[in-house]
Amino acid sequence: MNRHRRKLIFLLGFMGAGKSTVGPLLAKELGWPFVDLDTVIEAGQGMTVREIFENSGEPFFRGIERAALAEVAKTEPAVIALGGGTFAQESNRDFIRSTGGTTIWLDCPLEELRRRCEAVENRPLFRDAESFARLFAERLPYYRLAEHHVPAGSLAPEEIVRQIIRLMNF
Ligand code: S3P
């Protein structure tokens, strides 16, 4: 069976890896729609992700994230940018696997992620360098489970798109 039979690409990786930057470029190149999971969640809740975390806590966010994931995967073809924590949840990984879509990890070094995230205020899980590094270490084993790994630390977004297209033999 061709495991890429479904035209779904899931971009995953830590906060700041470039999922929401590379995603639209990749989608444009393929002529597919782009879906940003956090944006879908924010639209559904009428709140930013930061507000959802502040008002209702992370477990609530993970519940709606799971539901939103099931919803967005109904769109095909699509390039879907996951949140940084989506692929760390076992039930999400199981679901993503069951879709038959392709998973791509945007692999970016910790230092570069921190540099990018320090510049933006909207990430509830970016508190300090120490907890950021701890969370990154916790998540790495899950990100490594992605089918494809693309170095995303120093390449321009357009070059990352080219690498993905090459990897997937489009
Ligand atoms: C999270 C990352 C965020 C967002 C939420 C939780 C995480 O997405 O989903 O703040 O658990 O790492 P980005 O990776 O797009 O910042």
**Closest CA relative to residue 126, chosen from 33, 45, 49:** 49
Residue-wise pLDDT for 57-110, tens only, equals 999 999 999 999 999 999 999 999 999 999 999 999 999 999 999 999 999 999
**pLDDT per residue as tens digits for the range 98-120:** 999 999 999 999 999 999 998 88
Residue nearest to ligand 1 atom 9, measured at CA:
83
Rounded to the nearest 10°, the torsion over CA 28, 88, 109, 160 is -20
CA distances from 62 to 97, 111, 155 (A): 18, 26, 31
Q: What spacing in Å lies between the alpha carbon of 21 and ligand 1's midpoint?
A: 14
Ligand 1 site, residue 89, Cβ cutoff 6 A: no
Could you tell me what percent of the chain has a pLDDT over 70? 96
Span from the CA of 98 to the centroid of ligand 1 (angstroms) = 23
Of the candidates 48, 55, 15, which has an alpha carbon nearest to the alpha carbon of residue 138?
A: 15
Q: Specify the pLDDT at position 124.
A: 82
Q: What is the pLDDT of residue 127?
A: 83
Atom of ligand 1 nearest to the CA of 53: 10
Secondary element (H or E) of residue 56: helix 49-56
Residue 9 exposed, middle or buried by CB count within 10 Å (0-12, 13-18, 19+): buried
pLDDT mean across residues, the chain: 94
Evaluate if pTM is beyond 0.85.
Answer: yes
Atom of ligand 1 nearest to the CA of 117: 16
List domains and CATH numbers for the chain: 8-165 (3.40.50.300)
